[in-house]
Structure 1
Amino acid sequence: MPFVDRMDAGRRLSGALDHLRGDDVVVLGLPRGGVVVASEVAEALGAPLDVVLVRKLGVPAQPELAAGAAGEGGVLVRNESVVRRARVSETVLADLARRARAEIDRRALLYRGGRAREPVAGRTAVVVDDGIATGATARAACQVVRAQGADRVVLAAPVCSRDTAAALSGEVDELVCLETPARFLGVGWFYANFRQVTDDEVVDLLRRAAASRAPG
């Protein structure tokens, strides 16, 4: 079992990201479990911590098929090949995006409690999850962060399916994974303790991270 829990995984992942220390970095965790890992990375790098909030736009008849993704700041990333193949109309796409943004806004208020989103434009954005299976959400998050103006996008996770890592490596500036097993039975398989992370824990981690960087 490679990792004791998400905190252990985050500390170990930090070592593989130490070359980013001193850069203009913002660490973005994917809620909820990824935020625990990301908090350790942010602390080790002396970087701000935030969440990356993204919603895949599932084709109505095939929700697992993403016509695109929505993110904060009005960002909409379209998967044109899926839009064409599934014949998703502009009206349907706009409705999917509207509903996605409403959920993103709700979660942003929940997690940040009114604090502003950490800007990523012109910076190195390190997108962190506790593990990557298919890569669909991580891919969408990286696309959204890129669209928000990040100068470099680094995707980092303690464990990632080998096939998924190969597919993702060409889509980001840097992919950092400690374990890339060929036999991937699920993210939880690689943790001794993989308990569910609550929204309250995410809120607390973000609040403490923001307080630690507040002036004075």
Structure 2
Amino acid sequence: MFKDRVEAGEKLAEAVAAKGPFENPIVLALPRGGVPVAYEVARRIKAPLDVIIVRKLGAPFNEEFAIGALVEGNPERVLLNEEAVYRLGVDKSYLDQVVAREREELHRRQKLYRGSQNPLEHLEGKSVILIDDGIATGYTMKAALAAIREQNPATIVVAVPVAPQDTLPEMERLADRVVVLETPEPFWAVGAHYERFDQTSDEEVIDLLEKAKSELGEEEK
């Protein structure tokens, strides 16, 4: 159980730093909740911080259950949970609708968080540390990993404070290393393992990205 995302980030930062040093590292967070966690890691290992924007595709009548994910890139990628789509009888019309809605939000966040810049274009040969505040089904993380892997990074490390044990084999297959602090059983939801799990705002994301940029600049002087 973590007090909040800051405490989780501080603890995760120590665990990630112990796996280093990393050659040419960059920390990528899944916004919004992953950013406060990733900020602490980026500060600890003195790496630039950015975001990779992924939108969960929610199931009909239960948007919290992921039937897939949409991830930014050129082109954008849709990763579907084919088994869930079939089992729930999700039709093409619904999929088109949910993808269009989440694509609109993805574009809004791209513009708001970093304008026209795209970190996916500058990952070749880098050590990418991919961070969220936790893993539930793993579909947003898998979509991010697929997009990152296409850019030929030197290595990819998935780092999260909490995840269910049964998601780890897939993460270990897709990433080069996985750092997870807690794997509680039973696993109910990511937020259940935090005392405080308020929604992270756009303003907080922008502030932490700017703060990280400023601090890294000062370190390099």
Do the two structures share a fold, i.e. TM-score over 0.5? yes
| Counterpart secondary structure, 1:175 | strand
Instruction: Give the structure-2-normalised TM-score.
Output: 0.79
In the other structure, the counterpart of 1:26 is: 26
Counterpart of 1:116, as a letter, is Q
- Correspondence 1:20-99 to 2 at 5 A: 20-55=20-55, 64-66=66-68, 69-76=70-77
Give the alignment partner of residue 178 of structure 2, picking from 150, 172, 175: 175
For 1:47, give the aligned amino acid: A
Contact 1:127 1:153 in 2 (8 A): yes
Counterpart position of 1:110: 112
Deviant stretches of 4+, over 6 Å: 57-60, 85-89, 92-99
Aligned residues: 211
Contact 1:54 1:72 (8 Å CA) reproduced: no
Distance in structure 2 (CA, Å) of the matches to 1:42 and 1:96: 33
Match of 1:122 among 118, 121, 125: 125
Distance 1:117 1:204 in 2: 18
Aligned equivalents of 1:170, 1:189: Cα separation in 2? 26
- What SS class does the counterpart of residue 17 from structure 1 fall into? helix
Q: Which residue of 1 aligns with 2:13?
A: 14
Letter of the structure 1 residue corresponding to residue 52 of structure 2: V
| 1:166 to 2:169 alignment | yes
Percent identity of paired positions between Structure 1 and Structure 2 = 38
Give 5+ residue unaligned stretches, structure 2. none
Q: Which secondary structure does the structure 2 equivalent of 1:178 belong to?
A: strand
Contact 1:124 1:150 in 2 (8 A): yes
Distance 1:174 1:88, change over 3 A: farther
Name the CA distance, whole Å, in 1 between partners of 2:24 and 2:155.
10
What is the rounded CA distance, in whole Å, between the counterparts of 2:154 and 2:23 in structure 1?
11
> How much has 1:142 moved relative to structure 2?
1.2
Q: Contact 2:79/2:143 (CA < 8 Å) preserved in 1?
A: no
Aligned counterparts of 2:21 and 2:113: Cα–Cα separation in 1: 26
Deviates more, 1:15-24 or 1:69-78: 69-78
